[in-house]
Amino acid sequence: MLKLVVFDCDGVMFSSRESNRRYYNDLLTAFSCPLMDEEELNYVHIHNDRNSVAHIFRNHGHVDPKLIEAHRLGLDYAPYLRFMTMEPDLLRFLACIKPTYQTAISTNRTDTMEIILDTFALRPWFDMVVTALNAPRPKPSPDGLLMILDHFQVQPHEAIYIGDSVIDQEHCAGAGVDLIAFRNRALDARYHVDDFMSIAHLPPFQANG
């Protein structure tokens, strides 16, 4: 029986592609580097910030990585929040599944996750949040999901993960947790949905009445 629902952040809870575009392009601009192309934007949208920064600066060896990191840490993320759009039925879905299920987030975001939780008043809805900062290894490693399973003392078959990328697909496979693919029919997933309220009608949720 389902006991735990785990969410990805970007591309699932939020449409955040534009905020990621502006954030990483601003990093590049600060060092007079060309803006990201579409491949690079796709990369940063699903990877953790350390790997993303390394990827977009991979052809700019003249820039000191320590200077990049110092600039990134000093960059206020608040202005980028206005380019993030929360899924319109997310809060309705959360209200529907609480308190029947435990809820958690497993994301490749790092220090920006805290401001997102507070700005959008999401903190009360989640019992645990694991980011690339507190997981031993970021997604696609299963570490974050395994931490969550251990915390709640539930088995993989008692949990389900809502994600939108190949990174999430591998994340779930490594932990033995079923994936609900959010607006990505190309993923190998147990279920595919296009909105949150459709999830409430899936068999694992119907089993709990």
pLDDT along the chain (209 residues), means of 10: 97 94 97 97 90 96 95 91 95 95 96 93 97 95 98 98 97 98 97 97 84
pTM to 2 decimal places: 0.89
Phi, psi of 121 (to 5 degrees): 55, 45
Q: Which two tokens stand for residue 172?
A: 């779930």
Q: What pLDDT was estimated at residue 129?
A: 98
Distance of alpha carbon 190 from alpha carbon 205, whole angstroms: 13
Q: What pLDDT was estimated at residue 46?
A: 87
Q: What is the distance between the terminal CA atoms of the chain, rounded to a whole angstrom? A: 11
Distance of alpha carbon 14 from alpha carbon 26, whole angstroms: 21
